[in-house]
Amino acid sequence: MIVIKLGGNAIDGAGLHAVAKDLAKLTAAGKPVVVVHGGGPQTSALQQKLGQQPLTVAGRRVTDEAALDALKMAVGGKLNIDTCAALLAAGANPIGLHGASSLVIEATRRPASVLRGGPTTPVDLGLVGDIVAVNHGLFKLLIDAGHIPVVACIGAARDGTVFNINADVVATKLAVELGAEALVLVSDTPGLLRDLRDPKSRIGRIREVEALQMIDEAVITAGMIPKVEEAFSAVRAGVGRVHLIGCIGEDDLGRELATPGSIGTVFVR
């Protein structure tokens, strides 16, 4: 099984259709696929249109009721539909999901905590959730029937409370829980870069100790911090391979899976 996480930039434009074609090829070849998507840029843009001021701390969105409503509209609505439509056009059979879909992602509110790359005091991110359970039965039912689950990064509690959850966190949890052989994080950069201004500075392979040093030295900053943390969390939990790649062309996903680090960055023990 492959779990692929699509960042907001990856599902905005022609790149989505290229990824959709690759995913359709994988499923046609008998390889189960689960898609997780975020939508940070689109959510922030919608917040601004609605007169809200997006607020993040160390790459994590502070989520009040108004921000959560924008997330529901952008991520749970338009982006989930657009992703399913692209997969449908590529010949796949997608099913759109979110946490409130039979508790496919069950969550509880995250307590205030100290964030790596943020202030030294605990931060309350608001209506942000931590995953407590995954609906294995629903995933198995859909995958066995030949569907691609397309999961928006929204969790829910049994009382119906809805939470924003970082899409990298959702993808990592699903990769671990479902026993994925590979987790692929599709972002807006061609991989992990030593110099953000130079795409040629891409790192093909990286170990956790090296990545943590880059965070401490502020080489890795902002939204890339949780991506790196979740990547190594997945590696430690037993996911076979974790890849970070940029918005890609058709067949690039297959090449990265066949030759880790050839297109993006692979995280290793």
Q: How confident is the model over 34-56, as pLDDT tens digits?
A: 999 999 999 999 999 999 999 98
CA 205 remoteness from chain centre: 20
pLDDT > 70: what percent of the chain?
Answer: 100
Up-side HSE of residue 69: CA atoms within 13 Å toward CB?
Answer: 8
What integer pLDDT is reported at residue 247 of this predicted model?
A: 67
Asked if 31 contacts 211 with a C-beta cutoff of 8 angstroms, the reply is no
DSSP state at residue 260: T
In CATH, what number does 2-268 get? 3.40.1160.10
Planar angle of CA 209, 211, 217, nearest 5 degrees: 105
Residue 180: what pLDDT? Answer: 95
Q: Is the pTM of this model over 0.85?
A: yes
Label residue 99 by pLDDT band (50, 70, 90): very high
Nearest one of 251, 207, 211, 248 to 264, comparing CA atoms: 248
Helices (H), 14-63: 14-28, 40-49
| Residues 126-150 pLDDT 10s | 999 999 999 999 999 999 999 999 9
How confident is the model over 197-250, as pLDDT tens digits?
A: 888 889 999 999 999 899 888 888 877 888 888 889 899 998 989 999 986 788
> How far apart (Å, rounded) are the C-alpha atoms in residues 217 and 226?
16
Is the pLDDT reported for residue 5 higher than 70? Answer: yes
The domain spans of the chain are 2-268
**What percent of the chain is predicted at pLDDT more than 90?**
69
| Contact residues for 122 (Cβ-Cβ < 8 A; gap 6+) | 112, 113, 114
